[in-house]
């Protein structure tokens, strides 16, 4: 009886989030019961809202106003993510370096032509670059041409003497120098000396933001830097080629007379009969085209330099290599256009 009397009635209320043992119902107030009921109702409402949100459907309409498809909210949220990823990939893509450098060559060529036709030329810089490309490069070009001429003379005279064609040596040397050797050799020397300097200077100005400073000051870098260099190269190369042709023929005649006993008068007379005015004109045209290739390529590689001092070195080397390749390709194309068919120049010097 005592044990039964000590047992008190109890109330046990539990839900998913909490468990409360009410051993003294007399002490539980109405306010606590009301709070507990509100808590249970709020948890059930939140669970129901999450289920409805997951199963909520959206109708995607087309431009004509008709429904096209019904998708869930999760699928609808995934679509912008995919679009953002594709946009990010496209924004990170950049064309190959050789492609936009080639385009820069074409753009610079067009800008230089337009500025030259409009007489927008910085004459002071043009004269400075003309002195640099012409007189300061003359010694190296003449020395190279003299030794190339003597080397060719050794090869031709040895073979022609055995065939009894001593009177044809001068004509062959003159044609070789006028049509190929003088413009190509001169352009190679200028590409190594001047083209590398152009690329290094403009590359250094580009990485040190000096070209941006020119734009801030109101000066166009193409007018101030590129156009004078291109004009100076196109003007100086034909004169350098003509001087190299003269020195090459003179050195060849002296070597043939001193070593192989062929008179200078015979060589000069043979050269005079073999050469035509078109041979000299074609050499001038070739050298002018070569000068444009050297200057435009070097300037384009310079203004597109990236990466500090290392980038300047890479741009300089690449500019010289591309200039030489361009010279050889242009030489083939011009020779094919200028000298087609069978020639009769050597008949006059036999």
pLDDT in tens, 22-57: 444 444 444 454 555 555 555 555 555 444 444 444
Q: Which of 296, 297, 293, 285 is nearest to 182 (CA)?
A: 285
pLDDT score at 333 = 94
* Residue 186 domain flag: yes
Tokens of 297: 């390529």
70 inside domain: no
Q: What is the pTM of this model?
A: 0.70
- Domain with 227, as residue range(s), is 97-349
Q: What is the CA radius of gyration of the chain?
A: 43
pLDDT value for 8: 42
Segment 219-247 shows an average pLDDT of 92
Q: What is the largest CA-CA distance in the chain?
A: 155
Residue 116 belongs to a domain:
yes
- The alpha carbon torsion through 239, 241, 243, 246 (nearest 10 deg) reads -140
pLDDT at 349: 61
Query: Is 185 a domain residue?
Result: yes
Q: How distant, in Å, are the alpha carbons of 74, 81, 89, 95, 96 from that of 86?
A: 19, 9, 5, 17, 20
Write out the H or E segment, with its range, that includes residue 219.
Answer: none
Of 62, 237, 56, 208, nearest in space to 133 by CA = 237
Q: Is the pLDDT of residue 273 over 50?
A: yes
Query: Worst-scoring range by mean pLDDT, 158-167, 203-212, 221-230, 276-285?
Result: 158-167
Domain annotation covers residue 88: no
Query: Between these two residues, 55 and 166, which has the higher pLDDT value?
Result: 166
Asked if residue 159 belongs to a domain, the reply is yes
Helix (H) or strand (E) segment spanning residue 27: none
Tell me whether residue 176 is in a domain.
yes
Q: Which residues contact 26 (CB under 8 A, 6 or more apart)?
A: none
Q: Residue range 159-186: average pLDDT?
A: 86
Nearest to 167 by CA among 85, 274, 249: 274
Determine contact, residues 252/152, Cβ cutoff 8 Å.
Answer: yes
pLDDT exceeds 60 at position 9: no
Cβ atoms < 10 Å from Cβ of 71: 15
Instruction: Calculate mean pLDDT across residues 83-95.
Output: 58
What percent of the chain shows pLDDT beyond 90?
Answer: 35
Q: Pick 84 or 261 by higher pLDDT.
A: 261
Task: Give the model's pLDDT for residue 271.
Answer: 86
Mean pLDDT of 277-304: 92
Nearest of 338, 306, 321, 121 to residue 231 by alpha carbon: 121
- pLDDT-derived band at 17 (thresholds 50, 70, 90) equals very low
22 domain-assigned: no
Report for 59-63, 68-72, 279-283: range of highest mean pLDDT = 279-283
What's the number of domains the chain is made of?
1
């Amino acid at each position: 009886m005592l044990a039964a009397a000590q047992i008190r009635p109890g109330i046990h209320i539990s839900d998913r989030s909490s468990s409360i043992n009410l051993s003294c119902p007399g002490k539980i107030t109405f306010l606590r019961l009301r709070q507990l009921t509100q808590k249970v109702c709020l948890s059930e409402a939140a669970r129901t809202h999450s289920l409805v949100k997951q199963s909520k459907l959206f109708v995607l309409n087309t431009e004509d106003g008709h429904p096209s498809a019904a998708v869930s909210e999760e699928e609808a949220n995934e679509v912008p993510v995919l679009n953002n990823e594709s946009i990010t990939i496209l924004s990170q893509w950049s064309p190959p370096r050789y492609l936009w450098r080639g385009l820069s060559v074409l753009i610079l060529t067009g800008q230089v032509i337009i500025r030259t036709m409009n007489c927008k030329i910085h004459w002071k810089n043009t004269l400075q670059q003309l002195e640099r490309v012409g007189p300061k490069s003359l010694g190296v070009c003449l020395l190279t041409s003299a030794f190339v001429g003597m080397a060719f003379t050794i090869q031709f005279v040895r073979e022609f003497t055995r065939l009894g064609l001593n009177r044809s040596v001068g004509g062959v040397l003159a044609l070789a120098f006028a049509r190929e050797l003088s413009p190509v050799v001169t352009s190679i020397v200028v590409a190594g000396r001047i083209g590398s300097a152009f690329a290094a200077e403009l590359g250094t100005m580009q990485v040190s933001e000096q070209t941006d400073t020119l734009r801030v000051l109101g000066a166009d870098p193409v007018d101030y830097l590129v156009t004078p260099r291109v004009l100076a190269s196109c003007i100086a190369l034909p004169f350098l080629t003509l001087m190299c042709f003269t020195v090459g023929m003179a050195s060849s005649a002296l070597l043939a007379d001193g070593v192989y006993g062929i008179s200078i008068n015979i060589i000069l007379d043979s050269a005079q009969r073999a050469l035509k005015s078109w041979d000299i004109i074609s050499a001038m045209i070739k050298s002018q085209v070569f000068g444009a290739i050297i200057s435009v390529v070097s300037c384009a590689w310079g203004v597109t330099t990236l990466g500090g001092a290392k980038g300047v070195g890479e741009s300089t080397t690449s500019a010289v290599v591309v200039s030489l390749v361009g010279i050889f390709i242009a030489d083939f194309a011009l020779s094919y256009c200028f000298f087609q068919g069978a020639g009769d120049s050597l008949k006059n010097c036999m």
